[in-house]
């Protein structure tokens, strides 16, 4: 019996932080679910994953129509609660004419653009992938991300 009590205490100590963190994560993701009404938001550990498919773009490469899933044709954003702040990291699939308005919207919200590149060569229309990151308040970050998405033709 004396050996079981310390063992149970260790198990409880290991489980309790996970339960507490899980509750906080749910609240954190609820902010996103409210702001991005109807969007797919999945929770993995402390990360809330937002993915909005680009349903308005029909991309072909070498004469073949490509599925949006095959080429990452979406607005993908991860929000992670880290202590009292939130880290955001994302990748947007954009048309050329959408790049500058999206960059402007992200910069207005103090989100840093970290990369802009293509994934394919010769696809029609040309798709550019914009990466970004920042830390701050989840509501401010999510609002900035939403504003950036709203500058695009995705309807």
pLDDT tens digits along 112-134? 999 999 999 999 999 999 999 99
R_g over Cα of the chain: 20
The CA-CA-CA angle for residues 100, 87, 93, to 5°, reads 35
21 has pLDDT over 50: no
pTM score, two decimals? 0.82
Residue tagged 């607005």 (tokens): 75
Question: What DSSP character marks residue 124?
Answer: B
- List of E strands, the chain: 40-44, 47-53, 60-61, 64-65, 74-82, 85-95, 112-117, 127-136
Question: In terms of DSSP bridges, do strands 112-117 and 127-136 run parallel, antiparallel, or are they unpaired?
Answer: antiparallel
Average of per-residue pLDDT across 137-145: 96
pLDDT tens string 37-91: 989 999 998 899 999 999 899 999 999 999 999 999 999 999 999 999 999 999 9
19 has pLDDT over 50: no
pLDDT at 2 (0 to 100): 56
Non-local CB neighbours of 138 within 8 Å, separated by 6+ positions: 28, 31, 32, 79, 81, 86
Enumerate the domain spans of the chain. Answer: 4-150
CA distance 132 to 61: 26
């Amino acid at each position: 019996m004396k050996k079981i009590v310390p063992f149970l205490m260790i198990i409880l100590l290991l489980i309790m932080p996970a339960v507490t963190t899980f509750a906080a994560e749910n609240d954190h993701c609820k902010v996103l679910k409210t702001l991005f009404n109807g969007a797919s938001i999945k929770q993995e550990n402390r990360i809330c994953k937002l993915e909005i498919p680009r349903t308005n773009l029909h991309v072909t490469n070498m004469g073949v129509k490509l599925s949006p899933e095959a080429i990452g044709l979406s607005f993908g954003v991860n929000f992670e609660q880290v202590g009292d702040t939130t880290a955001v990291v994302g990748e947007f699939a954009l048309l050329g004419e959408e790049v500058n308005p999206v960059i402007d919207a992200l910069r207005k919200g103090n989100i840093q653009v970290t990369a802009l590149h293509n994934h394919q060569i010769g696809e029609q229309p040309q798709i550019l992938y914009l990466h970004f990151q920042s830390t701050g308040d989840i509501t401010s970050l999510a609002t900035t991300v939403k504003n950036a998405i709203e500058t695009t033709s995705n309807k």
